[in-house]
Amino acid sequence: MGFFNSFVWGLALLICLLPMLNNFNGREGVVAFHKINLKYQTNNLVQVKQIYRTGYHFQPKKNWINDPNAPMYYKGFYHLFYQYNPKGAEWGNIVWAHSVSKDLINWIPLEPAIVPSKPFDKYGCWSGSATILPGNKPVIIYTGIVNKKPKPGHQVQNYAIPANYSDPYLRKWIKPDNNPIIKPTHENVSSFRDPTTAWFNNGQWKLIIGSKNNNRGIAYMYKSRDFINWTKAKHPLHTKPNVGMWECPDFFPVSSQGSNGLDTSALGKDIRYVFKASLDITRFDYYTIGNYNVAKDKYVPYNTSVDGWAGLRYDYGNFYASKTFFDPIKKRRILMGWANESSTKSEDKAKGWAGIHLIPRKIWLDSSGHNLLQWPVNELDSLRGQKVELSNVKLNKGDTIEVKGITVVQADVDVTFTFSSLDKAELYDPKWAKIFSPENLAQSICGIKGATVQGGLGPFGLLTLASSKLEEYTPVFFRIFKITNNKHKVLFCSDATPSSLNQNEYKPSFASFVEVDLAEKKLSLRSLIDHSVVESFAEGGKAVISSRVYPTLAIAQNAHLHVFNNGSEVVTIERLNAWSMKTAHVN
């Protein structure tokens, strides 16, 4: 079909992409959080454009939203706080907005819980976490800004406690006057933020705070016996040169046996640790898996984890400043993340909002021990409505099949592909490793090849949010490369380049390699499509890519969904289940 044979079009695309290939990190598309532009700081609801608003993702009624804060379970409700600008669609005037939920999908909005009001948080209430103290007593520790200078602000750590423990909504929070409880003791008073949930061992509470020194990322550790008096540990829990500021660190245990989550203070022999940092420079969330020496309070990543920009990411797309928490009811660890915008600041102002949160994901250790697995919480399935199914459908080279009968602009699609041979996989070009840096590699290859350049085994996958003549579409797909006759590399790609005719948007070719055993000759993909977000899980959550897209034609009922194969090897849709998703009650 025309779409695939359009060599000229592919060439044009490649020429357009070349300047971007070494600029993978999306800085132009991702808004720096500390710049305030006064003209974006007023908003009224009338201005809010509904067209790109999500139907089942978390967002407030209007305005700017960024990091999830202090997620926790308390007396029958999941609590989510988040960084929120009550006055506009750009970062600024940050308060802790607050919503509660019975199922992590439908959310009830409450009054903001923590707002700047005291000398210790006068210029901002920035990110932080909750710890549940013995006796089921939640306490929040958050970053307060005490001075606008030095930029982005002088940072301290404060605590807040519920005014009424018998209120399951935890509507009111008290910020006691003995705040701040942790002050920076080093020169970097403007890089000292985002305290984690604390964990308890050897008679002390411990937490970490994100920081940097020159270009070295640092997770400072603090210890306390009473949660009020904190002492800086001799050594940081972890530190790494040449990575830049570590924002929103997270540190938690995972079990090497099964998928249940662990309380943050859990200790034991079948436990590994995850350290995550949100890297301010690249704007991705990176993690390593490693060993935590409790006696020395030191974390050391295993040599199977790359510790740096080329390391594993929770999500290879629009995803930042995430946080996990342990759900004591369903015994799982849940990851909440912010999907930043691909639209421009002036478009955000025009639409009256910016930022969403992704679907909360259960997170656990893969049996290989090398990476985490992530999967949307199963409560999401309650929104599934009308269903269509395909099974055992062959896709020859150039075939596309339209999936009809559901609202594809708000859908959940789960598909498994099989193939009978790896022989036709295209050769992996060793020169790529020389011309692209390791952290850019997957995305750069996806940028060159996309979904349109014909391959051997793949590209195959979904064309989501497609307009009727494919002027716009967001392809999510696999391409398999041959390194040697029995060694292959699976590229997973969510390419925003063709997603919109609007040239102003941020449209990267987000991608990752996925470690898969291809013996079964099978690959699976699930995409959650929701108007301006496509959140995709490869191989049961081994790699995840969320992409914020703003089509101009593929909107509402004009959006289409296709399954495609553009490789010479025949690929079979072993099974495809797709559902219309009902609209959740979100705020």
Cα 403 from Cα 401, distance rounded (Å): 6
Instruction: Decide the pairing of beta strands 372-376 and 199-201.
Output: unpaired
Q: For residue 503, how many other CB atoms are within 10 A of its CB?
A: 7
285 annotated active-site: no
Contact of 489 with 513, CB cutoff 8 Å? yes
Residue 129 in the binding site for ligand DQQ (CB under 6 A) = no
Going from the C-alpha of 450 to that of each of 262, 458, 476, 551, the distances in angstroms are 39, 11, 10, 18
Q: Name residues whose C-beta falls within 8 Å of residue 357's C-beta, 6 or more positions apart in sequence.
A: 57, 58, 59, 65, 68, 80, 82, 336, 337, 338, 339
Write out the two tokens for 524: 């699976």
Residue 20 or residue 182: which is nearer to ligand DQQ going by CB? Answer: 182
Contact of 528 with 297, CB cutoff 8 Å? no
Residue 41 in the binding site for ligand DQQ (CB under 6 A) = no
Q: How far is CA 104 from the centre of its chain?
A: 16
- Residues numbered 556 to 575 that lie near ligand DQQ (CB under 6 A) are none
Tell the smallest beta-carbon distance from residue 152 to ligand DQQ (Å). 8
Tell the smallest beta-carbon distance from residue 7 to ligand DQQ (Å). 42
Tell the smallest beta-carbon distance from residue 196 to ligand DQQ (Å). 12
Residue 247 or residue 307: which is nearer to ligand DQQ going by CB? Answer: 247
Residue 532 in the binding site for ligand DQQ (CB under 6 A) = no
Residue 371 in the binding site for ligand DQQ (CB under 6 A) = no
Residue 319 or residue 473: which is nearer to ligand DQQ going by CB? Answer: 319
Residue 129 or residue 566: which is nearer to ligand DQQ going by CB? Answer: 129
Residue 547 in the binding site for ligand DQQ (CB under 6 A) = no
Cα 176 from Cα 141, distance rounded (Å): 12
Cα 321 from Cα 358, distance rounded (Å): 12
Contact of 568 with 585, CB cutoff 8 Å? no
Write out the two tokens for 202: 């050897």
Residue 85 in the binding site for ligand DQQ (CB under 6 A) = no
Residue 211 in the binding site for ligand DQQ (CB under 6 A) = no
- Residues numbered 243 to 272 that lie near ligand DQQ (CB under 6 A) are 247-248
- Residues numbered 333 to 362 that lie near ligand DQQ (CB under 6 A) are none
Residue 193 in the binding site for ligand DQQ (CB under 6 A) = yes
Write out the two tokens for 494: 């969510």
- Partner residues linked to 457 by β-bridges: 480
Residue 194 or residue 379: which is nearer to ligand DQQ going by CB? Answer: 194
Select which of 67, 194, 280, 297 is catalytic. 67
Tell the smallest beta-carbon distance from residue 85 to ligand DQQ (Å). 9
Q: What angle do CA 177, 250, 160 make, to 5 degrees?
A: 15
Residue 66 in the binding site for ligand DQQ (CB under 6 A) = yes
Q: Which residues of 412-429 are buried (b: 16+ CB within 10 A; e: fewer)?
A: bbebbbbbeebebbbebe
Helix extents (H) in 336-430: 345-351
Tell the smallest beta-carbon distance from residue 306 to ligand DQQ (Å). 23
Q: Name residues whose C-beta falls within 8 Å of residue 403's C-beta, 6 or more positions apart in sequence.
A: 388, 390, 413, 561, 562, 563, 576, 578
Residue 192 or residue 230: which is nearer to ligand DQQ going by CB? Answer: 192
Residue 62 in the binding site for ligand DQQ (CB under 6 A) = no
- Residues numbered 135 to 154 that lie near ligand DQQ (CB under 6 A) are 143
Tell the smallest beta-carbon distance from residue 501 to ligand DQQ (Å). 30
Residue 209 or residue 403: which is nearer to ligand DQQ going by CB? Answer: 209
Contact of 121 with 75, CB cutoff 8 Å? no
Sign of CA dihedral 83, 84, 88, 92: negative
Residue 84 or residue 481: which is nearer to ligand DQQ going by CB? Answer: 84
Smallest CA-to-CA distance from 510 within 481, 546, 540, 535 is with 546
Q: What angle do CA 498, 504, 505 make, to 5 degrees?
A: 55
Tell the smallest beta-carbon distance from residue 69 to ligand DQQ (Å). 9
Tell the smallest beta-carbon distance from residue 356 to ligand DQQ (Å). 14
Write out the two tokens for 207: 């937490």
Tell the smallest beta-carbon distance from residue 362 to ligand DQQ (Å). 23
Single residue of 96, 126, 227, 273 touching ligand DQQ by CB under 6 A: 126
Number of residues that bind ligand DQQ (CB under 6 A): 14
Residue 63 in the binding site for ligand DQQ (CB under 6 A) = no
Q: How far is CA 368 from the centre of its chain?
A: 22
Q: Which residue is nearest to ligand DQQ (CB)?
A: 126
Q: Name residues whose C-beta falls within 8 Å of residue 544's C-beta, 6 or more positions apart in sequence.
A: 314, 315, 316, 317, 319, 361, 374, 535, 536, 537, 538
Cα 301 from Cα 290, distance rounded (Å): 4
- Residues numbered 8 to 37 that lie near ligand DQQ (CB under 6 A) are 33
Tell the smallest beta-carbon distance from residue 382 to ligand DQQ (Å). 30
- Residues numbered 294 to 333 that lie near ligand DQQ (CB under 6 A) are 320-321
Residue 194 or residue 412: which is nearer to ligand DQQ going by CB? Answer: 194
Single residue of 94, 445, 451, 543 touching ligand DQQ by CB under 6 A: 94
Residue 127 or residue 572: which is nearer to ligand DQQ going by CB? Answer: 127
Cα 250 from Cα 550, distance rounded (Å): 31
Phi-psi region of 283 (alpha: psi -120 to 50; beta: other; left: phi over 0): left
Residue 127 in the binding site for ligand DQQ (CB under 6 A) = yes
User: Looking at the annotation, which residues are catalytic?
Assistant: 67
Binding site for ligand DQQ (CB under 6 A): 33, 66-67, 83, 94, 126-127, 143, 193-194, 247-248, 320-321
